[in-house]
Amino acid sequence: MYLPSQFEETRLDVLHQLVRSHPFGTFVVLGDGELIANHMPFLIDSRRGPCGTLCAHVARSNPVWKQFGKPVEAIVVFQGPDSYITPSWYPSKHADGKAVPTWNYAVVHAYGQPRAIDDPAWLLEHVTQLTAEHEAGQALPWKVSDAPQDYRDQMISRIVGIEIPLSKIQGKWKVNQNRPLADRLGVVAGLQSRATEEARAMAELVAQRARSSP
């Protein structure tokens, strides 16, 4: 990933929080001479390994997990908020016209060697945790234990776990750090005027970096 220093995010807690808030990752491995991409929700365990460990699962019929019999490098991409930025929001544009559009985004790239986990106990714990995470906002959260045991066991037999101890994790927060403070504040106001969840999330990221700038 092209990563100018002004856009680099290195704080592990910030990177892990983006993964938690945007857990649907793009998982890419090199296998059989081609790139293989899959899309799935991940959990991240910050306590395991220097960069954390990602956990997920795939259908047993998905052949990707069979690539892990030998060491293979993988990357998982987590996309946070993103937004088109019009130069019309920059006060500097109105002063001298020297501005062009751009795109703001926050993204995490996580690297490691995946391994397949074909263990019913591990899988049950994993899907229980994954379900609890995403059911938490429901009025009546569904639990894995709500399903009949024979059905639950049948469903678990149809999946294979994936565990990725991370060797490296990178973050890029491209949120107008290269613009004067007045332009950044103009972007915040412009994004807030859109009144969408995505725009509000990006406005907060731009504002956070603006507040912490020297």
Give 5-41 pLDDT, tens digit per residue.
Answer: 999 999 999 999 999 999 999 999 998 889 999 999 9
What pTM, to 2 d.p., does this model score? 0.93
Give domain status of residue 195, yes or no: no
Q: What is the pLDDT of residues 163-195, one digit of tens each?
A: 999 999 999 999 999 999 999 999 999 999 998
Give domain status of residue 89, yes or no: no
- The CATH number linked to 23 is 2.30.110.10
Give domain status of residue 184, yes or no: no
Domain that holds residue 26: 5-80+104-175
Give domain status of residue 44, yes or no: yes
Longest dimension (CA), the chain: 70
Total domains in the chain come to 1
